[in-house]
Amino acid sequence: MSERDECIFCRIADGKVKSDLLHQDSEVIAFRDINPLAPLHLLIVPRKHIPSLVELEAEDSSLIGAMVNVANWLAKDAGVAEKGYRLVINCGPEGGQGVPHLHMHLLGGRQLGSKLG
């Protein structure tokens, strides 16, 4: 089995697993988290399989900007931009990363706690 076939977010990006997709372009997709922690909880995911933030190569660093742009657009579209929202990238086991494919959480729609860890 190929790396993409073994990765749940690659399978979603490739249309092999269903998701509640809200955005897709040539580089980035965004869909609702299956386990929402807030009224709005989206995942912004590069199509390219990058296992985690620490493995982001310099040549791919513009992807982070593309992911933030998509997140900001989705926050505005969902109506949470004015009140505020949070973007989170978990990296590695101690950073709380469960799915080994780079992704950004967009959380909003309620007052989020002031503690990060």
Name the residues annotated as catalytic. Answer: 103
Question: Residue 8 or 66: which CB sits closer to ligand DGP?
Answer: 8
CB 61 within 8 A of CB 21: no
Give yes or no for residue 85 binding ligand DGP (CB under 6 A). no
Tell me how far, at minimum, the Cβ of 104 lies from ligand DGP, in Å: 9
Q: Considering beta carbons, is residue 29 or 80 the nearer one to ligand DGP? A: 29
Contact characters 2-41, ligand DGP, x per CB under 6 A = ------x----------x-----------xxxxx------
Residue found under tokens 């579209």: 77
**How many residues lie near ligand DGP (CB under 6 A)?**
13
| Nearest alpha carbon to residue 19 among 51, 46, 43 | 43
Contact 96, 37 (CB under 8 A): no
From residue 111, alpha-carbon distances to 4, 37, 42, 82, 107 in Å are 36, 12, 16, 13, 10
Using CB under 6 A, list all residues that contact ligand DGP.
Answer: 8, 19, 31-35, 43, 90, 96-99
